[in-house]
């Protein structure tokens, strides 16, 4: 395939996949269970999820490694399985997609709070991200996606770890924002402008936002990123905000609604459009049709 960043530089709009957690829950992931444990015990589930997103038209498909850093895995007594967990996740996606889609190594928050507000040393966190990302790269990912970050310091540590592991690996970096009376900020007080600048300075090749918002608010966030960054943009919205029904979160935005509103992302200049919590292969299929109709594939 043509290198990812070359396609973005040429003006292509790519479709990323949708939720991993939503799909794993449908396959029996229990509350409190480590999602990455599936990598060791049920890899066929990961292969099938990747296959469904590929058939829906995704150009970029993620690995089940969002919580694959040693610090995050330690919460489930799995830190000693870091290498195997990350490698198994990449293998499952590669087996499903071959060379028909880009494989994105997911790297999410550690779940720890950095000093001086918490007890975690930045160098320890960097080392953990570096270990995870080296496994992902060695196993064959085409890019690394540092995602769902709320602390800019943690996000930049992960981005730097990726670029130190491989200066040539494309790094996508996204943060999660809440709507406040003052505008959009992460729960750690990071603005879109600060995120755009900080992620770029750390070495990210693509910046943007995922999770925390439905498509309409994500269009607003994308507009702000466009004001403050010249890098390619990535947006992966939830299928709305969850509403509890019978003790389970339900996401109300339909594939048709999301795809219709997502046209505005192309107008803003977003280069990668995908989904997060609550989205399914049906949402990605609708986004694929919308992007194809725009002539920007």
- Residue 213 is given by DSSP the state S
What's the whole-number average pLDDT of the chain?
Answer: 97
71-95 pLDDT, tens digit per residue, is 999 999 999 999 999 999 999 999 9
Contact 49, 23 (CB under 8 A): yes
Give me the pLDDT at residue 296, please: 74
Helix, strand, or coil (residue 192) = helix
> Residue 125 pLDDT more than 90?
yes
Residue 143 to residue 159: CA distance in whole angstroms: 12
> Residue 244 pLDDT more than 90?
no
Q: How many domains does the chain have?
A: 1
CB atoms within 10 A of CB 205: 21
> Residue 245 pLDDT more than 90?
no
Give me the pLDDT at residue 20, please: 97
Token digits of residue 134: 């080296």
**Domain range enclosing 284:** 4-294
Give the C-alpha distances (Å, rounded to integers) separating 30 from 50, 116, 232, 266, 290: 20, 34, 36, 37, 34
Q: At what angle do helices 43-56 and 281-294 cross, to 10 degrees?
A: 30
Give the C-alpha distances (Å, rounded to integers) separating 35 from 27, 66, 162, 201: 11, 9, 22, 31
Strand partners, 98: none
| Structural element, H or E, at residue 273 | strand 272-275
Strand partners, 140: none
Give me the pLDDT at residue 279, please: 97
The CATH number covering residue 70 comes to: 3.20.20.330
Average pLDDT over residues 261-271: 97
């Amino acid at each position: 395939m043509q290198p990812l960043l070359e396609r973005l530089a040429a003006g292509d709009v790519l479709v990323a996949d949708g939720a991993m957690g939503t799909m794993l829950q449908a396959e029996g992931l229990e509350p409190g269970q480590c999602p990455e444990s599936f990598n060791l015990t049920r890899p066929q589930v990961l292969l099938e999820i990747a296959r469904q997103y590929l058939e829906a038209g995704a150009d970029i498909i993620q690995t089940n490694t969002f919580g694959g850093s040693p610090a995050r895995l330690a919460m489930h007594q799995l830190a000693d399985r870091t290498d195997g967990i990350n490698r198994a996740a990449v293998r499952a996606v590669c087996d499903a997609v071959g060379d028909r889609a880009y494989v994105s190594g997911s790297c999410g928050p550690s779940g720890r709070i950095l000093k001086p507000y918490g007890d975690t040393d930045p160098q320890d966190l960097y080392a953990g991200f570096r270990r995870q990302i080296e496994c992902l790269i060695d196993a064959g990912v085409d890019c690394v996606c540092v995602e769902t970050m709320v602390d800019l310091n943690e996000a930049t540590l992960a981005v730097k770890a990726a670029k130190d592991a491989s200066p040539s690996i494309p790094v996508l970096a996204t943060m999660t924002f809440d709507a406040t009376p003052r505008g959009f900020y992460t729960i750690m007080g990071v603005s879109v402008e600060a995120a755009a600048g900080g992620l770029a300075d750390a070495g990210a090749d693509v910046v943007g936002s995922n999770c925390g918002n439905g498509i309409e608010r994500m269009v607003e966030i994308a507009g702000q990123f466009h004001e403050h960054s010249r890098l390619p943009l990535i947006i992966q919205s939830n299928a709305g905000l969850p509403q509890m029904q019978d003790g389970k979160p339900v996401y109300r935005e339909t594939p048709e609604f999301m795809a219709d509103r997502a046209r505005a992302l192309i107008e803003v200049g977003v280069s990668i459009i995908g989904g997060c919590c609550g989205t399914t292969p049906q949402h990605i299929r609708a986004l694929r049709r919308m992007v194809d109709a725009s002539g920007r594939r």
